[in-house]
Amino acid sequence: MRSHVEVKRTTSYALGIVVLVLGAVAATPLLSRTARLDTQVLAAPSEMTLTIVNNSNREIRHLYFSPTAQDNWGPDQLNSSIIVPGGSFTVNNVSCSASGTKAIAEDQNGCFVYQVLECGGNASWTITNDAAPDCGN
């Protein structure tokens, strides 16, 4: 027959295990939520400021942004402005995902030049005559 001390020790040990298991089960949703929040923070888009410098002989009539892996262009950022040869234009609060953003400039002939930009506080894109335009040919 077991003594009263052995029964009490076994009961305390079993109760301790039950408390640990229940604590682990209760903490699992909290840990899972924290992991999701950390992932969301890492995946959240950031913003950048972009200055476009036009060192080409083309007038830039439209400027669009798109995610890097898509051709889902946003609205025209120039709002009827023109970036003349030798001119520049700055766009603030450009949305930028972890993979960057794609800038698309359209000239007076309806031809496009593209540039993928890395996310950062400030970025610059200089358009030159060396940039081969996409005129849909």
Of 76, 69, 58, nearest to 131 (Cα)?
Answer: 58
Determine the average pLDDT of the residues in 108-116: 94
Is 46-128 assigned to CATH 2.60.40.2890? yes
Q: pTM for the full model? A: 0.64
The pLDDT confidence band at residue 26, using thresholds 50, 70 and 90, is low
pLDDT tens-digit profile of 56-78?
999 999 999 998 888 789 999 99
Confidence of residue 36 (pLDDT cuts 50, 70, 90): very low
